[in-house]
Amino acid sequence: FINAITFEMRHPLSAIMQCADDILECYPKADNHFSMPSADRYAAILNQTLYAAQIIAQCAQHMRQIVDDMLTIPKIESGPFFITPIDAQPESVVSHAVKIFESKAKAADVNMTLHVDQSFRNLNINWMSLDPIRLGQVLINLINNALKATRLGLESPRSIKVILSASKEEPCSAPGNIQFGTKLTKEDPRLIEDWKLGSTLYLQFSVADSGRGLSEHERSTLFGRYDQASPRTHIKYDDSGLGLLISRRLTELQGGAIGLCSEPEKGSTFSFYIKTRRSEVDSRRTSLLEVFPEDMRARPSIGRLQSALNSGVPAAAIGLPGKPSLRELKLKNAIADGLHVLVVDDNQINQKILTKLLQKIDCIVNVANHGGEALDFLKKTKHWSAGKQTPPNSAETQHLSANLNVIFMDWEMPIMNGREATVKIRQLETSGTLLDRIPVIGLMANVQQQQIQMAMDAGMDDVISKPILMAEVMEKLRGVV
């Protein structure tokens, strides 16, 4: 397992280092005389650095997915891991997942289609009680793998077909067809209770590709724990070998199973099914775009939402809008200019990244290295009770705002961590030493329900996961300021 993961991490790391060197080579060294480049040279520098930045971003995303997968597996195997059913339309979930890859498929000259089987129509299926996030996670993994296998194949025409079907009886293995493996994970108890509320059905999702296919040995080990079918199977399917394992666990938690049918040089069909029940919803609800955000807000745990954000499922797959531009974010979130923000983090790189994001939306930013420094900073603001302020020095005076609007507080820090600092801040507010309540947003590298509850109990107003994205920063600011 360690060999497989380090192998997958080494490639993007090497690319990042190379791109960083390329960027540095564009500029003169410190001991060299700097002269203004010509227009052509300046354009070449811009193109080279832009290309390098794009590669770095792609590699970082790939590495983040590997890390997310590594963190997901122990959650599934040891808990807590949540499958939360809501009212959703299966056809919409599949359609959104396919749309994510339309442009990528077109660029690779792959014809990708969605087919709704007659069995689905015959059962008159519309709204069902299921978890669209976890369903989307499995679909996206299989479609992405199929696209990768098909692009590397020499077959023409290249094609991927996504099929949605349904049945009243549980699907089973058949000779010459999909072979489902033995289940290793028990069904989620919450789903078992949910299935009692209505008539149950089985929804089956298949992804067929025209790639090179897999041998019998590769098929037998593909879904094994941390196994790779062969030293080069990752080139065909599933970079690290973790995605298919996670997909297997997710389908089994939902009362289903995953399997495949494949032959060398004849392509592959990966298929999974889940157990679900019919649901009756308000007739005014007409699409996943309408029902999903509403039901997510009604869920009791904000950790569930955070889990969705970290699951690797693009927003479009579950009916949410894609990543907006900075201008769109500013218009949508309507955050006032000139907010004064204190960033508390012991990692200087994290400080710089968050500071830069906040300055893009016209925030005034100060930084502290741990909770103790954050408390010292508060003593220099107008929020500290009269007669108890510590006079700021001249450098601080230039940046000090009349009001401190919000604190971004890292959870893990030396000397005084985020939890301890937040508890102390709330105690100072209760005693009257701090005259105003200052919102605190926690920064966490690995957000889990237990940590979120601890943060809320300590007095934090919200949490945000690392790596930090502009959309999340603005959403959290709007929620607390």
Would you state the pLDDT for residue 185?
84
* Mean pLDDT (10-residue bins), the chain, 481 residues: 66 77 75 72 85 82 75 68 87 91 85 95 94 90 87 72 96 88 86 93 95 80 54 46 82 93 88 93 44 32 39 47 53 71 87 86 92 93 72 48 85 91 95 93 81 91 85 86 81
Would you state the pLDDT for residue 297?
29
Would you state the pLDDT for residue 36?
74
Q: Would you say 425 and 375 are in contact if contact means Cβ atoms under 8 Å apart?
A: yes
Would you state the pLDDT for residue 393?
53
Q: What is the DSSP letter of 140?
A: H
Q: Tokens standing for 341?
A: 């923000």
